[in-house]
Amino acid sequence: MNVTDVSNTSGATDNIQNSPGNDAASIKNEFMTLMIAQIQNQDPTNPIDGTEYVSQLAQFSQVESLEHMRTNQSMQMVMMENLGIVQSAQLVGKNAMVPAADFTLDDKALDGKVYLEDSVESLSIDIVDSSGDVIKTVELGSQEAGDTAFSIDPEALGLPPGEYSLVANTTAGDVSKKADTFIQAEIEKIHFISASGMMMAELGNGLGTISVLEISEVS
Q: Can you give the pLDDT at residue 198? A: 79
Q: For the chain, what is the mean pLDDT?
A: 81
Residue 112 has pLDDT above 70, yes or no: yes
Q: What is the mean pLDDT of residues 125-145?
A: 96
pTM, entire model: 0.61
Q: Per-residue b/e over 29-63, b at no fewer than 16 CB within 10 Å?
A: ebbeebbeebeeeeeeeeebeeeebeebeeebeeb
- Write the pLDDT tens digit of every residue in 28-80: 677 677 767 776 776 677 766 667 666 666 776 777 777 777 777 766 665 55
pLDDT tens readout for residues 83-104: 565 566 678 899 999 999 999 9
